[in-house]
Amino acid sequence: MTITEIISEVVTEHFDIESGLKKIAVFSEENGQEIRLIEVNEDALATGQVEPFVFAPGKELAVPIYIADVTPDEWEAICEGKIHLPEGWPREPFRIIGRGGKHERLTCTGVCQTGKG
């Protein structure tokens, strides 16, 4: 399974099971060695930071997946530079996928920041 196929499967599954999920920001290249996602979820618990869970590679999964849940307010704070992305993550997502597979543009282009928060 390719990185693109894995991302597509994860996105579909997560939208199917999480009713509060509004969008998923993909922070990994399709030819990368890992998958990095931020899920903007109305049901997420606010922590004030981006804390990805790591799913290690295994029989079904060839690469590690990092998934962080943030609230819509935290997403806005990320875009405003008030909450930083994990060190080593790109400044902006490569794409944002809304419910129903609709691709969105980043509403805060050029503002997302990386570094220690």
* CATH for 21: 3.30.460
Lowest mean pLDDT among 8-12, 19-23, 45-49, 60-64: 60-64
The count of domains in the chain is 1
**How confident is the model over 42-96, as pLDDT tens digits?**
999 999 999 999 999 888 778 999 999 999 999 999 988 999 999 989 888 888 9
Average pLDDT (3-11) is: 88
Place of tokens 């060190």: 87
pTM of the model: 0.84
Does any domain span residue 117? no
Q: Rounded distance, CA 91 to CA 69, Å?
A: 17
Does any domain span residue 19? yes
Does any domain span residue 112? no
pLDDT at 1: 78
> Which residue range forms the structural domain that includes residue 48?
3-104
Tokens of 60: 């079904």
Does any domain span residue 36? yes
Question: What are the DSSP E strand ranges found in 17-101?
Answer: 21-26, 35-41, 53-55, 65-70, 95-98
Q: What angle do CA 28, 32, 35 make, to 5 degrees?
A: 45
